[in-house]
Structure formats: structure tokens, C-alpha cells
Amino acid sequence: MEEILRLENVNKKYPSFSLKDVSFAIKPGEIMGFIGRNGAGKTTTLKCIMNLLHYESGSIQAFETDMTANELENKQRIGFALSELNYYPNRTIKQLMNVTKRFYKNFDEKKFEEVCEIFNLDVNKKLEELSSGMKVKYSVAIALSHKAELLILDEPTSGLDPVSREEVLDIFREIVKSGDRAILFSTHITSDLDKCASNITYIHNGQIVFTGKKKDFVNSYLFVKDKTMNKDLEKEYIAYKELDDRIEGLINVNNKEVFIQNNIKPREPDLEEIMIYLERGNNNESFTL
């Protein structure tokens, strides 16, 4: 299978917000981080993929078939979880599993129990007693137990402590190791992507800014700290901020020679720096409190 998921020119309109021609694709073996600030359209896009929201135009294919036309069959092959599990909080994990397994023809109860043991999940605990990290592990355990080939997760690491977050990322890496599964997860925690994502899709105000290999995205930019406070270079920045002793900001990699000629050495940015300054854009003004 060449692609496990493909979106082409998906549009969804609200009175004050729209998805505009959203397009990206995921192949088996890939972990794609879906990034953008809150309200950029990440959750809306994920809900459109799962046909939880009606989109006005465009197409969504899963497993090389139309997602809407083959919804029931495709959902058997997808593990999906929104950012927080809130349904039936007084039910135990085992009770919830007994309900959930009825929806999946390939559900393997023994596999579920094995995964719960690996994750140190007590199946007799109620949902309301689980930490955020344990809820994520429960969602993943359900997905693995019905042999999901694609996991779509909305902010799965949000609110986790560093240890739990690292455990979840280790699980993600293990899931795709065989090369026949893929993961799409939205996040605003860019350090998670540094650790596990092979690809990223960046959405801004409902439009895709970039989709592709993470290394290609990072290699497109450089980070600059200019202690000379050279005002003549301001136009070379994508965005910058002026501090007491320096100007720092993001530049296009093609502009590096201008800074080198002024004895300023740009460095490779991390994903957080790129996202901060791309969101900042040309809003370089100072704020008065």
C-alpha cells in the first residue's frame, strides 16, 4: 500500500473559521505530527477524516478507498481517540472493553489483556481513576487489539508528565517499527516531534503551511541572535523580537550569507522556535503593559 491516508483540498466552513484546501498524505511506517496553534484547525481536520464533521468539498481516502463510501470498513482499521476520554467515567477498563469490542469484528480480547499488562494498566480501575497518561495508553491498547493499521490521536501527550510522555512516545515508535502501520497525532508539544515524528504537517489559520519530512522543514530555516542590533538586517528576518541586548529571530536558510557577511553565525532552530516565529510573522512590534 503506497498511502494509508490522503486528504486532497478538504474545505470546511464555519462563520468565523474555515479549513481551506487541506491536503496531506501518510504512508505506512510513518509517524506524522500535526502541528499548529490552538484553533488552527487540527481537531476539525481529524474529525473530518473520521466523518464526524461534514466537509463541503475535497476528498479523503483511507487505505486507497473513499473514506465516506467505505466508512464502516475503514473504521475497523483505524484507532481514533480525541484528547480526553470522558464517557462512562464510572465504568472500569474491562467493562468499557466489553462494550467497545462489539464494534470491531477482529477484536482480540487476549491481545487487549496482554497490552494492558505491558502498559501496567489495571483493567479493574474506573476510567475516572486513570491519569491522563493511562487514558492515552488505554486508547492505544484498544487500537492495537482490533489490529488498527492507522492511529489518529488528538493531543495524546497533552497534560502528561515527562516520564509518561516519554513512555507514550516509545509506544508510538514501537507501533510503526514493522512498517505496516502509521500514526497521525496532533500536538502543540514540539519536543515530542523531535523525538518520534518522521513527518510533520503544519496548519495555520485553517491552511497547510508545510507537509513533508521533518528534517526538510527544519532545514528550511535558521535561527539568529544578533548582539550588534543591526537594524539594516531587519528586512532579512521572517520574524524577530528585539530584546535588551540583542535581536533574535528566524530567517530563511537562503538568507544566511547576509548574516555571515556581518559576522553573525546562524544556527539550526528547533521546531518550537520555528513555530513561534512563523506564528509571530511580521508582528515584530513591542508590547506596552
Summarize pLDDT for 175-221 with one digit per residue, the tens.
899 999 999 999 888 888 888 999 999 999 999 999 999 999 999 99
Q: Are residues 223 and 209 in the same domain?
A: no
Mean pLDDT of 127-140: 83
180 neighbors 212 (Cβ within 8 angstroms):
no
Mean pLDDT of 235-252: 92
pLDDT digits (tens, 9 = 90+) for 92-128: 999 999 998 999 988 999 989 988 888 888 999 998 8
* φ, ψ (nearest 5 deg) of residue 250: -110, 140
State the amino acid at position 229 in one-letter form.
Answer: M
229 lies in which domain range?
Answer: 219-280
Q: Are residues 194 and 228 in the same domain?
A: no
Q: Are residues 44 and 60 in the same domain?
A: yes
pLDDT for residue 283: 59
Task: Provide the strand spans (E) within 15-149.
Answer: 18-26, 31-35, 57-62, 65-66, 78-81
Q: Is 94 buried (19+), middle (13-18) or exposed (0-12) by CB count in 10 A?
A: middle
Whether 288 maps to a domain, the answer reads no
Whether 155 maps to a domain, the answer reads yes
Angle at the Cα of 63 from the Cα atoms of 58 and 65, rounded to 5 degrees: 50
Number of structural domains (the chain) is 2
pLDDT for residue 247: 92
Give the end of a domain, one of 171, 189, 213: 213
Check: pTM over 0.85? Answer yes or no: yes
